[in-house]
Amino acid sequence: MFKKRENIAEIEEGKYLSPKFDENDLIPVITTDFKNGGILMHGYMNKEALKKTIETREAHYWSRSRKSIWRKGEKSGFVQKVKEIRIDDDQDSVWLAVDIGEGASCHVGYRSCFYRSIPLGNIENSEKIEMEFKETEKTFDPKKVYKDEPNPTKL
Amino acid sequence: MFKKRENIAEIEEGKYLSPKFDENDLIPVITTDFKNGGILMHGYMNKEALKKTIETREAHYWSRSRKSIWRKGEKSGFVQKVKEIRIDDDQDSVWLAVDIGEGASCHVGYRSCFYRSIPLGNIENSEKIEMEFKETEKTFDPKKVYKDEPNPTKL
């Protein structure tokens, strides 16, 4: 169903979907809140996750930590209803605009995964760089929602 | 200057910057227009590009096609002035909010790289998937701006 990548002008200027999956068969995905445009998370899809997302209108990703297809919300209940999917010029990254209602997208408990801001300016002589929290209250308690699920974050 | 990744709770809940670079020494970057929140592009940084971006307040990426540090706008003039940088829960992706004035971010000529929308619904029996153009007018003429530069898009 995805057109073979044969011609650069067609990939960039054409109307047919020809996604490029990387050496791990994944394509990166940006997910935003369709209501306010805020970035919720950055993830990855394989071919099957992209197909399921297009067909079911619910976001599916590839979990690199669990090495499996991951229907977002299957454990937490925080399903992402897809309002729009876009792809970029060279068709190697995807943007999902989703509806999460009053829910959250970050397994740590915040609404967005991007809850910390990096200060700008000279860091040459900094031993550590201290960030600022932009979300200070969690939307949910991850201990209650995920119970004994292993944490997907890896060192 | 980046704190060593030693402890998952600290990476997720702590205040110190400990970015994770992948097997190619890169971290993915989402770039948005700070004025309206729209997604402009998806790119990658290595450690040096992240440091230069933080220090100069101008977006620097790693060009995977040219295999070099890339100060966005060095050829096109479409510099990205960084207004804010955030990092996600497990510190393996970055979000830049930038000011591009009346400029553009896509080498094809559109303001955003995400100018095409993928239709939702059943695709099981589709031979090809036809997308919709959401930007129909280019912001600049790439032939005039880039002249004989090679196209960064790869099959």
pLDDT of residue A124: 87
HSE-CB at A6 with a 13 A cutoff on CA atoms is 4
Minimal CA separation from A99 to chain B, in Å: 15
Let me know: does B75 contact B81? Beta carbons within 8 Å: no
C-alpha dihedral, A7 to B123 to A106 to A137, nearest 10° = 110
Backbone angles phi, psi at B107, to 5 degrees: -65, -15
- Span A24-50, pLDDT tens digits: 999 999 999 999 999 999 999 999 999
Q: Does B57 touch chain A (CB under 8 A)?
A: yes
pTM above 0.90, yes or no: yes
pLDDT of residue B148: 87
pLDDT of residue B61: 98
Q: Is the ipTM of this complex over 0.85?
A: yes
Task: Report which residue type is found at A121.
Answer: G
Q: Does B75 touch chain A (CB under 8 A)?
A: no
- Span A94-114, pLDDT tens digits: 999 999 999 999 999 999 999
Residue A148's pLDDT band, with cuts at 50, 70 and 90, is confident
Q: Which mean pLDDT values do the consecutive 10-residue runs of chain B (155 residues) have?
A: 96 97 97 96 98 98 95 94 98 98 94 97 93 96 92 93
- Sign (positive or negative) of CA dihedral B133, B152, B60, A85: positive
- Span A75-84, pLDDT tens digits: 899 999 999 9
Q: Does B73 touch chain A (CB under 8 A)?
A: no
Arithmetic mean of pLDDT over chain A: 96
Residue B50 Cα to chain centre, angstroms: 12
For residue A66, the chain B residues in CB contact (below 8 A) are: none
User: Where do the DSSP E strands lie in B1-155?
Assistant: 27-33, 39-45, 60-63, 68-71, 81-87, 94-99, 116-118, 132-133
pLDDT of residue A121: 96
Nearest CA in chain A to B17: A129
What average pLDDT score do residues A54-67 get? 96
Let me know: does A110 contact A133? Beta carbons within 8 Å: no
Please answer yes or no on whether A117 and B88 come within 8 Å at the CB atom: no
Please answer yes or no on whether B17 and A129 come within 8 Å at the CB atom: yes
Backbone angles phi, psi at B10, to 5 degrees: -70, -40
